Every structure is written in C-alpha cells, then in structure tokens.
Structure 1
C-alpha cells in the first residue's frame, strides 16, 4: 500500500476512534517550531496536514485545497488573524479554531464575531485541542448535513451528493460528486439519474442552500472557484446553462434556477 493510501486509511481509522469528521486540516502559524511540532503530532493522529506561515498564504491554501478545518493563530506577520477569518467567511463556512497567545476578552470576542467557531489560548494541550476539534466538527455536521431538495422530477441529496429521479428513488446508480459524466440510464421520461461534475455540484449547492434568495455573481464565483478569482460572467452562465439542461423540465424557460439580469441567480423551490 502506498504512502498516500496508508495516510488516508489512518485518517479514516482516526476519525472513527476520535469521533471527528475531519481528515484535511490547515494549520496556520508563524512560529516554526510550533508549526513543525504540531504538523508531526497531527499527522501521527491521522490528519492530512497542510500549513501556512502567514495570512495571504493561508487564504490561498484554503482556496486552492479546501480543508475540513482550519486552526489559526492571530498574530501573523502580514495581517491580523481576524482579517484572515473575515476573508475566509466571505466565501466558506469551513470550521475555524483560533489558537492564540492573546488572552483578553476583547480579542476573543473580535475573533468569534468575525466568524471563528472556537478559541483556544496558548499554552494548550493536544488533548484539549482534539476535544475542541471534535466539538466544532460535530456542530458543523449538524448544521451542514445538507438538505434534500426537489427540482422538477429530480431529488437532490446534498449530503450524499446524489441526484435521482423521484419516481425511481433508490433505483440505479445515483450521480456522485466525483463522477464527471453527464447522464446515465435514460427512459421515456428522461434519465433515471444524473451525474454532476464537481464544479456543477458546488454551483448547485451555492444556490439551493439559499432558497428564494438572490445570490450575486460575485458570491457564486467566490463559493465555486474561490476568492481572488476574477469575476467571469460567461463561465458562470455556461455552468448555469449546463445545470438547467440537466435539471429543468424546460431549460429554455427555467422554473427553478432563475436569472436576475445584471445581479445574479436564484433557486426557486
């Protein structure tokens, strides 16, 4: 078994024992010894650990390889950790645990108000940090379990990343996040299940998690492609049209994925 497979197996095993639904963790810290020590410790506990030594690196890393959880120091060399939290919260709900030597109530309130999920002060024990990770990820799982929504004849299960025809629920091979194909078994009334690409899934989730709400072009680009990506209305329109062709009863007259000209898109339940 290769090193990558071994690491993934260890992560699955550790999640089962620790009860934390986390495998990929981004650790942001500018103190080299602590960063190295925590990387070793967390990897030994089955995590896939990526690191960043400053705020800009952290934001770029989170966008290019989204983790399941972020552990973040506030005292970074290029920007304050609260700014990093605000930057992340502009496009993601990834759980964030602050790990900082700042002990004042004002610092804690500022970090939590910016969107941090928990705050651990230094010095700390690894057992305490693991307990906080478990608690935060349990809360995240409870709030983001993923609803089941209906679009036309299709049932969208966001938690399982599956799309199936409602009259054939549980029949056939449901579409998945990782399968890049388009359609599967077709019948007289259309395909029995759909396969969406990862980009299509992210776009669909960004819309259906806010039923009836206008989601701007900029918000969709941030959530689908990450911050720092130039707003590209043509690419966004292309993927919206792909979803409509797969999900709408009449893609030329969309009923569920509607356009607000010049502003964005809306999921109409």
Structure 2
C-alpha cells in the first residue's frame, strides 16, 4: 500500500504523533507542566480523565503508524483536529470531557481494526479476517498497551501486537490470536515476555471472544485437512521427557467444546 502526505502536512502529522505518544499511566498525553487551557488542566487534574487521555495516546500511536492513502490520511488528521477542537469547547467540564474521550477512543479502535483488515487484504495473507476484530479483541489490544504503561515502560517501534485469525472452534466465525512478542516496551523489558515465553491470548467466537491467556513463543496456525491447530513453543517443563536444551511444543486443538493442548518434544525453530 502506498502513502501520500499532503504538501505542508508532514510537520503537523509529526506534531500529532509526538503529542499523542503513549505515556505512563496517570499522566496525560501532553506535558502537564505546560498545560495552559482549561481542558488541558482538567485532564491533568483528574485521574480518570488522565487515564482516558493516556489510552487515547496509545491508540493514536498505533493508528498513526498505518500507511493510508492520501484521502484517508487527510481524514485522519481532520479527525484529530476535530477532537482537539471539541475538547477545547468542553473547557474544564469533566462531564463533557469524559464521554468525548470515550467516543474518541472507541472510534480509534474501530479505525485501527479497519486498517488492519485493509493491510491484511492488501498483503493477501491467509487466513484473512472477514471483518474488523470484535470489540473484546480490541479491548485486549488496549489492555496490552496499558500493561506496558503500568510496568513503567513506553511503547516503541511497532506498537501493535501480531494478530492472526482462523476458525479454531469450527463455528464458521473467525477466532483471533494476539501475540505480544513483537511489542517493545522500553523501560520495562519483562512487560510482555519472561523466561517462560511471551503473552499470547486466544479469543474464540464461541466464548464471546473472552481471551484465553497462554505463554510461549512462535505461535503458528497450522491448517489441517479437518481442523486448524495452534502450535506454540512453550516452556520445556511442559514436556515430561524434555532434556535440557530440548524444545517443547504445545498443540491446541478443538475437542468439540474447548481448545485442549497436547505437548511433545520437537526440534527448536
């Protein structure tokens, strides 16, 4: 996908990225020491508003990384301008600011999901989500952003977890996998990964997309003749006969009512 920036717009776009960069929980997406307007001061003084603002900063950080066509890129900037103008009109009124932030965050989640779907179609990957990720999956993504901030870190580089989709539970609807392994949380190296692997969540449509938490690395969806299997390189202690240095793999398959794992020693990737 190509991207074009309107003449003179690059500086403004860079300013927006800097202004909405993710920050630790409890702080706003702008420097509270330089807050001058009533709306900025209100956000800095209210922990609930500050949390909403920080969530928006993380969402914007991710959304701003997607390359869009010229018209969509202009609309993205216009949306940001419109939000700032609406926030200014709220002044110090928290009852006006809170719903405005919630609406903005919900819109950003939908825009990110749509951008992911578009990129996936452009790349012609398989399987391709037929629609934007459901809200519980988007909430899980936002939770990963908050996890970094709560650990005292700051997202850098690719600020979006790896997302994969397949019909794991055989109900004809896409299920989603989020892998935090590619996320970089500066200042909190163990925010997502430790010796036993990285955070992986699986959201099944049959379970209302409630996330199932797993740990490991290199998650892979293996399409078989009858079903799709989720393979994850897991801690070797999951395999009873794993010698030091051996690789233990977990394979999750649908048994008719749930995803159930089995473990086996295989070659390391």
* TM-score, normalised with respect to structure 1: 0.29
